[in-house]
Amino acid sequence: MTIKEQAYGPQEEAVFLDTIRRWTAQELKPRVKEYDHADRYPTEIVEQMKEMGLFGATISQEYGGLGLPARLYAQVVMEISSVWMAITGIFNSHLMLALAVEKFGTPAQKDLWLPKFASGEVRGGLALTEPDAGTDLQSIRMTARRDGDDYVINGTKTWISNGIEGSAVALLVKTDPKAEPRYKGMSLFIAPKQTGFTVSRKLEKLGYKCIDSGELVFQDYRLSKEHLIGGVEGQGFFQATGGLELGRINVAARGVGLAEGALRLASDYAQVRKTFGKPICEHQAIQLKLGEMVTRARAARLLTLDAAEAFDRGERCDMEAGMAKFFASEAALENSTEAMRIHGGYGYSKEFDIERFYRDSPLTCIGEGTNEMQRMIIARQWIKRHSIA
Ligand X SMILES: Cc1cc2nc3c(=O)[nH]c(=O)nc-3n(C[C@H](O)[C@H](O)[C@H](O)COP(=O)(O)OP(=O)(O)OC[C@H]3O[C@@H](n4cnc5c(N)ncnc54)[C@H](O)[C@@H]3O)c2cc1C
User: Considering beta carbons, is residue 20 or 210 the nearer one to ligand X?
Assistant: 210
User: Considering beta carbons, is residue 244 or 342 the nearer one to ligand X?
Assistant: 244
User: Considering beta carbons, is residue 185 or 367 the nearer one to ligand X?
Assistant: 367
Report the 10 Å Cβ neighbour count for 10. Answer: 7
User: Considering beta carbons, is residue 69 or 250 the nearer one to ligand X?
Assistant: 250
CA angle (262 as vertex; 373, 289 as ends), nearest 5:
90
In eight-state DSSP terms, residue 274 is E
In eight-state DSSP terms, residue 268 is H
- Shortest distance, position 42 Cβ to ligand X, whole Å: 16
Cα 95 to Cα 92: distance, rounded to the nearest angstrom: 5
- Shortest distance, position 309 Cβ to ligand X, whole Å: 26
User: Considering beta carbons, is residue 120 or 125 the nearer one to ligand X?
Assistant: 125
User: Angle, to 10 degrees, between the axis of helix 354-366 and the axis of helix 244-272?
Assistant: 160
CB 8 within 8 A of CB 69: yes
In order, the DSSP letters of 268-303 are HHHHH-EETTEEGGGSHHHHHHHHHHHHHHHHHHHH
Choice among 215, 260, 355, 368 that is catalytic: 368
CB 166 within 8 A of CB 98: no
Report the 10 Å Cβ neighbour count for 86. Answer: 25
CB 207 within 8 A of CB 357: no
The residue ranges that bind ligand X (CB under 6 A) are 93, 125-129, 134-136, 159-161, 205, 208, 213, 363, 366-367, 370, 372-373
User: Considering beta carbons, is residue 20 or 162 the nearer one to ligand X?
Assistant: 162
Q: What are phi and psi of 156, to 5 degrees?
A: -130, 140
Q: What are phi and psi of 261, to 5 degrees?
A: -65, -45
Report the 10 Å Cβ neighbour count for 220. Answer: 11
How many CA atoms lie less than 13 Å away from 370 in the CB half-sphere? 6
Cα 331 to Cα 325: distance, rounded to the nearest angstrom: 10
- Shortest distance, position 316 Cβ to ligand X, whole Å: 22
- Shortest distance, position 131 Cβ to ligand X, whole Å: 8
Report the 10 Å Cβ neighbour count for 172. Answer: 29
Q: Establish whether 368 is a catalytic residue.
A: yes
Q: Closest residue to ligand X, Cβ-based?
A: 134
- Shortest distance, position 133 Cβ to ligand X, whole Å: 7
CB 60 within 8 A of CB 98: no
- Shortest distance, position 13 Cβ to ligand X, whole Å: 29
Cα 180 to Cα 174: distance, rounded to the nearest angstrom: 12
- Shortest distance, position 362 Cβ to ligand X, whole Å: 9
Round the CA-based radius of gyration of the chain to a whole number and report it: 21
User: Considering beta carbons, is residue 71 or 209 the nearer one to ligand X?
Assistant: 209
Which residues participate in catalysis according to the annotation? 368
